Amino acid sequence: MEKITKPLDAKDKAGIFTEGINYFVTGENSIWGKGDKETLEFLDKEEIKGKWLNLASGDGRYNLNLLKKANFVVASDIDESALSKLWHTTPEEYRNKLETKVFDIVKPFPFEGNSFDGIFCAGTLHLFPVEVFKKIIKEIDRILKPGGKIIIDFATDIKRISSEGKLITFGDEPLYTLEEAKILLKELFKDYKTMINELSVFEEDFKACNPPYKFTCRGVLLVAEKVNR
Ligand SMILES: C[S@@+](CC[C@H](N)C(=O)[O-])C[C@H]1O[C@@H](n2cnc3c(N)ncnc32)[C@H](O)[C@@H]1O
């Protein structure tokens, strides 16, 4: 795959929360750090098989965890530079079961119905206003096979502090509290068999972001199984 170095600028009001950076100047590791402890532990022990979609995968923070277990992974993002870094940092032995797909999560997904055994999405869905979030969940539900599984790492109580000490927010992001997020996710996934676990406080210095900021959040890990449909 070609190395895509062209930055994609954010358009917060249109639901495009990109970094506007060339991911090939950000080093080998993900710009989002190592990941939530509980999410990593969960991915390690959970049964993950068949064809998975890593939705808004970014530059691949959790992608190898999926690839090591699933039969096939489609990593998707609107930012082609992030996806091409993900591809180039994936060990060659896993690339034959990896595909990358560029698309806008706010628009209809470019997949047939019932095409995935599992869908994973981390650190992204909390950014969308509720009505947009509901549309995204509808698309996730459409492309997930009966019996399929959804894993969502959903950030809450977010604080981003710039190097000048200013609070950063993006567009119309809802800035959910932990309790609000739990209520919303329970409601949206009421037809699923769900498990909602609280994540511990997450702190990270996102130096490669545009602009860079110190980040703290709480969050929940939702696991939802599409039963009886
Ligand atoms: C905070 S990052 C999380 C990346 C990755 N899931 C992780 O946990 O490391 C959010 C990702 O969502 C992508 N993104 C933002 N808006 C999007 C949209 N409308 N459609 C698809 N991807 C989008 C960004 O490019 C970025 O890679």
The protein residue whose alpha carbon is closest to atom 24 in ligand 1 is 18
Q: Which of 22, 77, 81 to mutate to test the pocket of ligand 1 (most atoms within 8 A of CB)?
A: 77
Report the alpha-carbon distance of residue 225 to residue 1 in Å, rounded.
Answer: 34
Q: How many CB atoms lie within 10 A of CB 196?
A: 16
Task: Tell me, using a 6 A CB cutoff, whether residue 21 lines ligand 1.
Answer: no
What tens digit of pLDDT does each residue of 115-157 get?
Answer: 999 999 999 999 999 999 999 999 999 999 999 999 999 999 9
Q: How far apart are the first and last CA of the chain?
A: 38
Indicate the DSSP class of residue 29: S
pLDDT at 62: 98
> What's the predicted TM-score (pTM) here?
0.97
Domains and CATH numbers, the chain: 29-225 (3.40.50.150)
Q: Which of 18, 40, 132, 140 to mutate to test the pocket of ligand 1 (most atoms within 8 A of CB)?
A: 18
